[in-house]
């Protein structure tokens, strides 16, 4: 599993059973530091991700688009429980 966006400072919840029965491991890293220390590996990783996206094997999250003028509607939608999409402002 890869999770991105630790800047929220919210705890990441992991299923204990996965660690016990599936031998999962959790490792954290700081992308900015890794990128600076491994510029060639970073470029190769981006290339691979772009190829996977082109092959439709790596898809972006489902998004709901709102114009900036619809910001109130967008924020109401964002507060919906169990929302399984991202809110995207478009021009």
Question: In the prediction, which pLDDT does 13 show?
Answer: 81
Residue 3 has pLDDT above 70, yes or no: no
Tens of pLDDT, residues 39-88: 999 999 999 999 999 999 988 889 999 999 999 999 999 999 989 899 99
Residues 12, 6: contact at Cβ < 8 Å? yes
Q: Residue 58: what are its φ and ψ, rounded to 5°?
A: -130, 105
- String of DSSP letters for the chain: -----GGG-PPPP--HHHHHHS--------HHHHHHH-HHHHHHHHHHHHHHHHTTSS-PPPEEEEEGGGHHHHHHHHTSTT--SEEEEE-
Closest to 75 in 3D by CA, of 91, 90, 88, 61: 88
- Structural domain spans, the chain: 1-58, 60-91
Instruction: Using the predicted structure, report yes or no on whether residue 4 has a pLDDT greater than 70.
Output: no
Quick one: pLDDT at residue 9?
A: 73
């Amino acid at each position: 599993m890869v999770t991105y966006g630790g800047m929220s400072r919210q705890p990441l919840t992991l299923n204990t059973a996965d660690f016990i029965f599936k031998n999962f491991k959790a490792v954290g890293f700081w992308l900015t530091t890794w990128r600076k220390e491994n510029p060639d590996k970073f470029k190769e990783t981006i290339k691979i991700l772009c190829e996977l996206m082109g092959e439709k094997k790596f898809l972006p999250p489902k998004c709901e688009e709102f114009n900036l003028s619809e910001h109130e509607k967008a924020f109401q939608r964002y507060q919906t429980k169990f929302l399984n999409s991202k809110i995207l402002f478009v021009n």
